[in-house]
A = this chain, B = another copy of it.
Amino acid sequence: MIDFAMLLAQDAGFGTMGVGLAMGLAIIGASLGIGRIGGNAVEAIARQPEASGTISTQMLISAALIEGVTVVALILMFLK
């Protein structure tokens, strides 16, 4: 019984489970965000084709902001 407990307590895996869930949730979030930006950007270009230059610049800037925090979070999760 004590051996069982010792093994259970050493590493029950809950931490790793949390890190895994976190990475999954992070990718869900990032994908929803970048997906919304990209989806609206192509609709916007369809409505104003002559403004495609500025639209794609703004799309890239805002998508890169999401990409940035997500990569930082993934690295911090991996180190955890």
User: Which residues of A approach B to under 8 Å, CB–CB?
Assistant: 1-52, 54-80
Contacts and interface: CB of A to CB of B under 8 A. Distances in A.
A76 to B, nearest CB: 5
A8 to B, nearest CB: 5
Q: How many copies of the polypeptide does the oligomer hold?
A: 3
A69 B30 contact: yes
A43 B43 contact: yes
Contact of A77 (B20, B30, B37, B60): B20
B23 A76 contact: yes
Contact of A26 (B1, B28, B58): B28
Contacts of A62: 34-35, 37-38, 41, 59, 63
